[in-house]
Chains A and B, each alone.
Chain A
């Protein structure tokens, strides 16, 4: 093609042309819901991508597209990656579920990995992390740190993953502080600094002196910093730029080991569709450093809690636990099964308000 050759010669003349790609490289695509600089969810997925590049060097090529809306646009981006020879595609948001399944049908030889969903296929795996384990540690610290006994919670969407987090944080805050009360605001976004800041401000005005968030930006940290005496936790990423205060600890999603393992499996030809749900024990969920703003004894207890989960000795949902309506859920000593947790659509006893529906 004439125009193409013109482009090529122009590119060479400018000396900026990238070398021709070797055919035997494994190509891995990533579809992100936010910008890579969100400082939270997408930032950590991108760190996982960079870890894959570092691990395999020349043997791998990674591509990504950021801020992809959930829906037909995501489907197009995935198709484009598959057409351009991707061998493995990670789609890193819940709303990419149906598009992932659609595209996977058209490209049976390409492997897909969908984060936080529930639909699998012979060439589609799903993976997620047991964030609720991290929420238990957060809840414990939050319950100890609050003076007003009001803890604000910025929810993203009322889906099981988020409800699990609220329940886990509440149970563990309540365990150390029986007077604690949760105020929950639903932002209906994963990433929108303006909305998140508004939500944080509203909660602070209602007397919350600890803010937990299930949204991805650092805007709530900034709002807390402005208020002066409000405790926050990093979400998805360490958000250590707000340490030691207001950010006193964090839940970190570490996708790198999983991404490396799955890329290796594709290279070796051993990839199989799987449903992975890893937690603190496997290292997919990490607890960011607990800062000195937290009293030493509280820090010690929090670390002990983490160690117990890492050793598999403690499950955050251990009975007796009742549901919000007062009915029994777990008997004394009973632990929640994964099926119930995966589809969790109820609050535990003591939480106020209703899950929007």
Chain B
């Protein structure tokens, strides 16, 4: 008989090993799935993980990894702060949308003026939009004790309606023949979040994501506030005795994650996407939750996890067009990754032992 035995201390070795074990298990079972679908599993997995990094057209895919990964990392960093303290912002998708609306709106208000200060104003407006949207659940929680999970999640759907509304009204392109969607910011130089070096994929959002990783690392390891965040998550009673102000912590964590999600939306709408449209959001805010946990809520881990997620998206598309794998199989493959991660996570806190049946 096999029993689970709780470890006296979480295993350090396993906490580092589980992400790797999860990736290997995903490859194994994903391979079986692809084989059942009649595809060569080695070729399929090779395509997903190898082609984007080292294949013939890697010069195009590598920069795309930055484009796809940056919003995930930026949002996940913000979320991880709250998650560590047990403050659950599930509505990053809505904050991402509001950041894009505020950012693009600020830029389009100046159209067609050409000035250096427009883009910085957009950055501030984007962060403000996301922050504002996150302040709603934060304020309601602090003031009335509402559940931030529900409030932040529900506000995603409100944000989606606002996105549809501005795409059809306020921000609609006057030269768009009545079709919904704003002017393309890529065609408006002062508001365009262009690549800093052509062909590198490196835009301001990527830079900001890297800065956010560093800041989060310093905050968590070198700063009193970071200590309070960790303490609240790991030992809420001790945190109380240490004089942590829960209301301040809630406002801080939700505010920062909202502002970062808003920035991600703003950089996306002014760069890779270019247009405020009804279907602007494609789920970065939700995928970032997976990225945050895949990265063990650790800034460097999140950076790597964001890269890995981006890799499966881009590699998955290549596998679709080259090998004819269905999109659903790729999604199952991504789902497996989170599933195995959570499953193997058990080994960090428990060990498996073969128990002898004992007679009392």
Instruction: Tell me the A43-91 residues at the B interface (CB within 8 Å).
Output: 63-73, 75-77, 79-81, 83-84
A17 & B40 in contact (Cβ 8 Å cutoff) = yes
| Segment at the interface with B among A6-14, A255-263, A297-305 | A6-14
B282 & A98 in contact (Cβ 8 Å cutoff) = no
B57 & A71 in contact (Cβ 8 Å cutoff) = no
Determine the chain A residues whose CB is within 8 A of the CB of B328 once the complex forms: 35
A84 & B321 in contact (Cβ 8 Å cutoff) = yes
Q: Provided the pairs A159-B179, A188-B164 are in contact, do residues A76 and B320 lie with their beta carbons within 8 angstroms?
A: no
Instruction: Tell me the A229-281 residues at the B interface (CB within 8 Å).
Output: none
A7 & B184 in contact (Cβ 8 Å cutoff) = no
Residue of A10, A98, A157 near B274 (CB, 8 A) is A98
Determine the chain B residues whose CB is within 8 A of the CB of A70 once the complex forms: 277, 279
24 A-B residue pairs with Cβ-Cβ distance under 8 Å, sorted by A, are A11-B42, A16-B39, A17-B40, A63-B321, A63-B322, A65-B321, A66-B327, A67-B327, A70-B277, A71-B277, A71-B279, A71-B280, A73-B313, A75-B272, A76-B64, A81-B321, A83-B57, A94-B179, A98-B184, A118-B177, A158-B168, A343-B178, A344-B178, A357-B172
- Count residues of chain A with CB under 8 A from any CB of chain B: 47
Instruction: Tell me the B38-91 residues at the A interface (CB within 8 Å).
Output: 39-40, 42-43, 46, 50, 54, 57, 60-61, 64, 67-68
A161 smallest CB distance to B (angstroms): 9
A159 & B273 in contact (Cβ 8 Å cutoff) = no
In the assembly, what is the distance between CA of A83 and CA of B279, in Å?
Answer: 26
Residue on A nearest B170 in the bound complex, by CB? A357
A3 & B50 in contact (Cβ 8 Å cutoff) = yes
A243 smallest CB distance to B (angstroms): 27
A-B CB contacts (within 8 Å), total count: 114
Residue on A nearest B52 in the bound complex, by CB? A80
In the assembly, what is the distance between CA of A160 and CA of B46, in Å?
Answer: 44
In the assembly, what is the distance between CA of A4 and CA of B50, in Å?
Answer: 9
Instruction: Tell me the A3-42 residues at the B interface (CB within 8 Å).
Output: 3-4, 7, 10-11, 14, 16-17, 29, 35-36
B62 smallest CB distance to A (angstroms): 12
Instruction: Tell me the B275-310 residues at the A interface (CB within 8 Å).
Output: 275, 277-280, 282
Residue A1 at the chain B interface, CB threshold 8 Å: yes
Determine the chain A residues whose CB is within 8 A of the CB of B191 once the complex forms: none
Determine the chain B residues whose CB is within 8 A of the CB of A353 once the complex forms: none
Determine the chain B residues whose CB is within 8 A of the CB of A71 once the complex forms: 272-273, 275, 277, 279-280, 282
Residue of A76, A95, A158, A343 near B177 (CB, 8 A) is A343
Residue B229 at the chain A interface, CB threshold 8 Å: no
A199 smallest CB distance to B (angstroms): 15
* Interface bin, chain B: 35 or more
B327 & A159 in contact (Cβ 8 Å cutoff) = no
Residue A345 at the chain B interface, CB threshold 8 Å: yes
In the assembly, what is the distance between CA of A35 and CA of B279, in Å?
Answer: 17
Determine the chain A residues whose CB is within 8 A of the CB of B326 once the complex forms: 35-36, 66
Determine the chain A residues whose CB is within 8 A of the CB of B174 once the complex forms: none
Given A80-B321, A98-B275, 18 more contacts at CB 8 Å?
A36-B326, A63-B321, A63-B322, A69-B282, A70-B279, A72-B67, A72-B268, A72-B273, A73-B282, A73-B317, A75-B272, A76-B314, A76-B317, A80-B317, A157-B278, A158-B180, A159-B179, A343-B178
Residue B169 at the chain A interface, CB threshold 8 Å: yes
Determine the chain B residues whose CB is within 8 A of the CB of A67 once the complex forms: 327
Determine the chain A residues whose CB is within 8 A of the CB of B61 once the complex forms: 80
Residue A294 at the chain B interface, CB threshold 8 Å: no
B278 & A64 in contact (Cβ 8 Å cutoff) = no
B4 smallest CB distance to A (angstroms): 37
In the assembly, what is the distance between CA of A98 and CA of B187, in Å?
Answer: 11
B54 & A356 in contact (Cβ 8 Å cutoff) = no
In the assembly, what is the distance between CA of A79 and CA of B169, in Å?
Answer: 32
Determine the chain B residues whose CB is within 8 A of the CB of A66 once the complex forms: 320, 326-327
Instruction: Tell me the B169-214 residues at the A interface (CB within 8 Å).
Output: 169, 172, 177-180, 184, 186
Interface flags, B223-252, vs A, CB<8A=1, else 0? 000000000000000000000000000000
Interface flags, A147-161, vs B, CB<8A=1, else 0? 000000000011110
In the assembly, what is the distance between CA of A7 and CA of B51, in Å?
Answer: 12
In the assembly, what is the distance between CA of A14 and CA of B46, in Å?
Answer: 15
In the assembly, what is the distance between CA of A11 and CA of B122, in Å?
Answer: 51
Residue B318 at the chain A interface, CB threshold 8 Å: yes
B279 & A357 in contact (Cβ 8 Å cutoff) = no
Residue A310 at the chain B interface, CB threshold 8 Å: no
B322 & A159 in contact (Cβ 8 Å cutoff) = no
A198 smallest CB distance to B (angstroms): 13
In the assembly, what is the distance between CA of A17 and CA of B40, in Å?
Answer: 8
Determine the chain B residues whose CB is within 8 A of the CB of A69 once the complex forms: 279, 282
A11 & B272 in contact (Cβ 8 Å cutoff) = no
Determine the chain B residues whose CB is within 8 A of the CB of A63 once the complex forms: 321-322, 324
In the assembly, what is the distance between CA of A206 and CA of B355, in Å?
Answer: 63
A188 & B278 in contact (Cβ 8 Å cutoff) = yes
A119 smallest CB distance to B (angstroms): 10
In the assembly, what is the distance between CA of A295 and CA of B159, in Å?
Answer: 47
Determine the chain B residues whose CB is within 8 A of the CB of A73 once the complex forms: 282, 313, 317
Determine the chain B residues whose CB is within 8 A of the CB of A35 once the complex forms: 326-328
B101 smallest CB distance to A (angstroms): 15
Residue of A14, A29, A65, A345 near B42 (CB, 8 A) is A14
A84 & B274 in contact (Cβ 8 Å cutoff) = no
A356 & B282 in contact (Cβ 8 Å cutoff) = no
Residue A342 at the chain B interface, CB threshold 8 Å: yes
In the assembly, what is the distance between CA of A342 and CA of B177, in Å?
Answer: 8
A42 smallest CB distance to B (angstroms): 11
B42 & A80 in contact (Cβ 8 Å cutoff) = no
B23 smallest CB distance to A (angstroms): 17
Residue on A nearest B176 in the bound complex, by CB? A118
